[in-house]
Amino acid sequence: MIFIRTGNWNKLFIKNKAGLQLSTLTIETPGDTIVVVCHGFTGSKEGGGRALEMGEALAGKGLSTVLFDFAGCGDSEGQFEDISLTGHTDDLESVVTWCRQKNYSNIILNGRSFGGSTAIKYASRDSDIKAVCTWAAVTRLEELFNKFASQEITGPPDQLSTIHGDEGTVYLKNKFFYDLKQHNLLKGFSKT
């Protein structure tokens, strides 16, 4: 159950490119600016209540907010083991498209950890994004996730692998790791 102290949150679903329903919460104010919030790796749109509080504070400043669960996370359709940076980026594109259909012309991306990485990746291909704000965003994703893998990642893309971290153990298909090899978040920012 979501406890909302103030504000006028609306729950809706946005369909992603794969046809899965992404669960969202929106708080809308008059104006053309919206903040799209991307949760972290094992997180959810509510951010333990902190994302809700942030959205309500932004509404008090006249900014709309949309919180959403990536496919396979939180209340969205899909399986967590199927996530990937490409999938997250496509999900974010679906939410940004919804924002544009609602006539928001100033879209700001906000993301934490893997959600911040997703925001950076998406903004690198959409020059109409007005701003990106991240905290604890990871740029060397392949290096980081390979450290948490219980074994070297080999085998078919649909084979499950295990990641052990501070938040427990999760299972991901090998295609998650193979997908990370396709992304260089530092490209254009650094010579490394």
The answer to the question of residue 75 being in a domain is yes
The answer to the question of residue 190 being in a domain is no
Query: How many structural domains is the chain composed of?
Result: 1
Judged by DSSP in three states, 55 sits in: helix
pLDDT range class, residue 92, cuts 50, 70, 90: very high
CATH assignment at residue 41: 3.40.50.1820
Residue 85's domain comprises 10-139
Q: pLDDT tens digits for 151-174? A: 889 999 999 999 988 878 999 999
Region 84-104: mean pLDDT is: 98
pLDDT range class, residue 189, cuts 50, 70, 90: low
Query: Chain-centre distance of CA 125, in angstroms?
Result: 16
The answer to the question of residue 131 being in a domain is yes
Residue 3, pLDDT > 80, answer: no
Does residue 168 or residue 187 have the better pLDDT?
A: 168
Region 112-141: mean pLDDT is: 95
Cα dihedral sign for 100, 76, 138, 149? negative
The answer to the question of residue 73 being in a domain is yes
Tell me the C-alpha distance between 174 and 137, whole Å: 22
pTM above 0.85, yes or no: yes
pLDDT range class, residue 2, cuts 50, 70, 90: very low
Judged by DSSP in three states, 88 sits in: helix
